[in-house]
Amino acid sequence: MKKALVVDDNNVNRCLLNALLKRYGYCVIEATNGVEAIEKHLEHQPSIIFMDLMMPVMDGIEACKQIKKQCGQHSFVPIIFVTAVSDEDKLSQCIESGGDDFLSKPVDLKILSARIKSMERLGLLYDAYFAMTERIQRDQELAKTVFNSVVVSEVSKNEAIQSLLLPAEVFSGDMFLTALSPSGELHIMLADFTGHGLGAALGAIPASDAFKAMTAKGFSGDKVLNAINNKLKKILPVGMFMAVQYVIVRKELDYAAVCICGMPDVYIRNHQTRQIKYNAKSRSFPLGVIANVDFKLLFENVAISIGDSIILCSDGVTEAVNESDELFGEYRLKKLLNRPDCDCVIGCIDEALKQFCGDGKQTDDISVAEISCTDSLFSNLQNSMEAFDYTHNDHFMTSTTSSVTENKLTLPAQIANLPWHWHYQLTLKGSQLAKLNPIPILIGQLQELDNQLEHSVQTLYTILTELYINALDHGILELDSTLKNSPQGFERYFDEREKRLAELNDDDKGQIDFLFEGHRHEKDLTLHIGITDSGQGFDIQKVLEKAKHPQDNALCGRGIFLVNELCHSLIYNELGNKVDVIYTSHGSK
């Protein structure tokens, strides 16, 4: 039964309203002052309240405030003031205290009926609103859980990576991700979707998924961006897109590759002068606008030094406004980054924005990231090459077979006779060698064949990369690795490499064959990797001789010794164009 609370210190007024309300099916509870009204409201939870204005102990205005506070934001109990007062200030106070309507004394039956029906309709609307709000909150919590599990990056917790993320709403249209590739490069992506809130955040999930999956498999930055771009072009509605800053930091901390599409500049800050020494600019439209973009052409290599910092930020920083509608702007940002006393960029920008914006509500998501180019940036990586003794491995050998056609391995006896449980082969020819990076494809296929390999992905990536680069660069392209013994030669080497790759076509006889065989014993997997190229090979004995003088290796010739330390056995044939490796992956205990 519906309940009505009548609050009035006059017994006659209460009796009159009691009689009238019963006609409309209400059970009436009575109170003589504001204090009683608050107690009766808690006890009986009425669906409507009729409140006198002037009462002893506590008047109607204070009682209304207290009852509305009890109701909170998730329930609606209409309070109708019943008064003979016509003073506009008093009536205004009634509304400000939370009152919903008025009835003049003496109460007219028709007007009472109209007020009751009006409040009942309003109550139904509020019930629908509260139900919808509760449903939206549940959906937002679910979306937030999914968003955090898919988008949040673990590597971004690295102490060398600081970030400031201030969403304009519950969900941010900005997304900051970091991931280490199997080769040890750090991939960093700051993205800004059109608008903000849940609608903008929805696009972050497929973009984040592609970023994490592809960097984990070792795909290059341009391939990652190409995949995200094509996916967003298919799923995003017209007018919605993703601007992006993408940075790849080499573990040697000498160069960073930067690609910007529709975002503000990326700044490189000198660690000694604390001045901006370079700012990379946007070179293309945001992602999701046009398909089949050649992102490889959009990357630029920027020289960095140990101790430098890389600053990424969304346009929410430069477009932040103060109370006078003045933009924070690029000028203020650059001035701040050039301040010698700014030790922590994130802290300086945060403080500057607070002072500039004051109490004004931001209209866009604000995101800033500072990447400190220090050793701690890669602290969770194994210091792979420097940690190995290149001169010692009992299983390092070359085949003494003069005939290249006799395809047999000189292996330790306990491995040579293993029954291989599966085989996988891949052949690349001509222009395929220029277009494809087979390593991520091979890693993905090997993980499909044996999911225990996920514990060895980084090691396998290193092994396959070193062996494949040897086969391609020195076998097919016939490049001389001694060019890399100086920084200038290093640049010449890669210029010549790009030139020779571009010259490969489908008529070329150049070919590289991959063979993989696996043997599973309990939690251990023994893997045979064979790589053969159609090139002239190289002098393996000359390379072996260098093992006696590792300090002379400089920037070339180190890959074979690294693979040797990672594997159980490494065997080259006499010509050097065929290599067989035995690697054992130990499963988790």
Q: Please name the helix (run of DSSP H) or strand (run of DSSP E) that holds residue 530, with its range, or none.
A: strand 524-533
Q: Which domains does the chain have, with CATH numbers?
A: 2-129 (3.40.50.2300), 152-378 (3.60.40.10), 396-586 (3.30.565.10)
Question: Which is nearest to 544 in space by CA: 382, 399, 384, 387?
Answer: 399
Expressed in angstroms, the distance from the first to the final Cα of the chain is 66
Report residue 130 CA to chain centroid gap: 33
The SS3 assignment for 282 reads coil
Question: Is 0.85 topped by the overall pTM?
Answer: no
Q: What is the dihedral of CA 338, 343, 344, 345, to 10 degrees?
A: 0
Asked if 570 and 564 count as a contact pair (C-beta separation under 8 A), the reply is: yes
Angular region, 230: left φ>0, alpha ψ -120 to 50, beta rest: alpha
Torsional sign, CA 160, 165, 171, 175: negative
Q: What is the dihedral of CA 62, 68, 72, 73, to 10 degrees?
A: -130
Question: Residue 109 carries which side chain, given as an amino acid letter?
Answer: L
Q: What is the DSSP string of 496-521?
A: HHHHHHHH--TT---EEEEEEEEEEE
Asked if 67 and 37 count as a contact pair (C-beta separation under 8 A), the reply is: yes
Instruction: Give the span between the Cα atoms of 326 and 316, in whole angstroms.
Output: 13
pLDDT per residue, tens digit, the chain (589 aa), is 789 999 999 999 889 889 888 888 899 999 999 999 999 999 999 999 999 988 999 998 999 999 988 887 778 899 999 888 777 777 788 888 888 888 888 888 888 888 888 888 888 888 888 888 888 777 767 666 666 666 654 445 678 899 888 877 766 778 899 988 877 889 999 999 886 666 666 777 788 888 988 888 788 899 999 999 998 888 888 788 999 999 999 888 888 999 999 999 999 999 889 999 999 999 999 999 998 888 988 999 898 999 999 999 999 899 998 888 889 999 999 999 999 999 899 999 999 999 998 877 777 888 999 999 998 888 654 433 333 333 334 444 443 333 233 333 445 455 556 788 888 999 998 888 888 888 888 888 888 888 777 778 878 888 898 899 888 888 888 887 766 665 566 667 777 888 888 888 877 778 999 999 988 887 788 889 999 999 887 777 766 665 445 444 444 556 777 787 788 888 888 788 898 888 888 765 4
Tell me the two tokens of residue 587. Answer: 């499963």
Instruction: Kindly give, in sequence order, each residue whose CB lies less than 8 Å from that of residue 208, ignoring residues fewer than 6 positions away.
Output: 150, 151, 175, 177
What residue spans of 2-84 are helical by DSSP H? 11-22, 34-44, 60-71
